[in-house]
Amino acid sequence: MNSAFVRVPGPGEVSLAAQDTPEPPDATTPLAAAWTGLGLSTPDGTTLTRKVEKEGTEHWQQLTPARFIYKSLELTVASVFQETKGEVLSAYFGGMKFAAVGTGTPKNYRAEISSTPRGDARALCIDWTDAISDIEIYSHRLYLPRAEVSETQDSQFSRTKEAQWGMTFSSLAPAKGRTYVAVWLTNDPTVLFGAPAVVAAASNVITN
């Protein structure tokens, strides 16, 4: 047990790009121009869910299974976004895009919500940083090369509350040649097995 290993995710953001956009080099380098942040979200932040469905074999001679048969793997990212802007609305409505109409000033914009849902796969990054002190700042980045909105929450328009856009992104099967659905990038040494810790100035400090 080591209190220096406790992590509080702190502030972060979800960003989208075209599917199979290359993996960022690390957790601290700013995302390239291909990525667009979805901006402000509710204080609940982002929820990461991993669900593996498996079924045990049944036997005449014993009650416990001899092995498990894996049936499905689901990795989802859920968040409620507060900015009503093009990238957020496009993801919520399955790829919908606004375009300028007419020649007047100021401009007017129009978008069609399709009657036929279509696939809208994106690459997704979740970034968050735990700033414990001036010398202990740990960044984390979860990269999903292919994900798609699998569920949307109701959006209520009210004079007493900002518009909110709740979405759940589900990871998709990897492209040919890959064996992973997500990559976790970080500069935090506690992710290593047996990460050492020393006591300095009456507090635990992580050392490389």
pLDDT at position 197 is 56
Per residue in 140-187, pLDDT (tens digit) is: 999 999 999 999 999 999 999 999 999 999 999 998 889 999 999 999
Tell me the torsion sign for CA atoms 145, 33, 78, 46.
positive
How high is the pLDDT of residue 207? 54
pLDDT of residue 200: 44
Q: Give whole-number Cα distances, 174 to 34, 91, 133, 146, in Å.
A: 20, 20, 38, 7
Torsion of CA 97, 103, 104, 106, to 10 degrees: 40
Q: DSSP letter at 21?
A: P
- Distance between CA atoms of residues 125 and 23, nearest Å: 9
Altogether, the residues listed in the chain come to a count of 208
Q: What angle do CA 119, 120, 126 make, to 5 degrees?
A: 135
pLDDT at position 128 over 70 = yes
* Joined tokens for residue 37: 């942040």
Cα separation values, 33 from 16, 21, 122, Å: 11, 11, 15
Averaged pLDDT for residues 125-153? 96
Tell me the whole-structure pTM to 2 decimals.
0.88
Question: 167 pairs with which residues across the strands?
Answer: 79, 152
d(CA 170, CA 143): 12
Mean pLDDT of the region 23-50 = 96
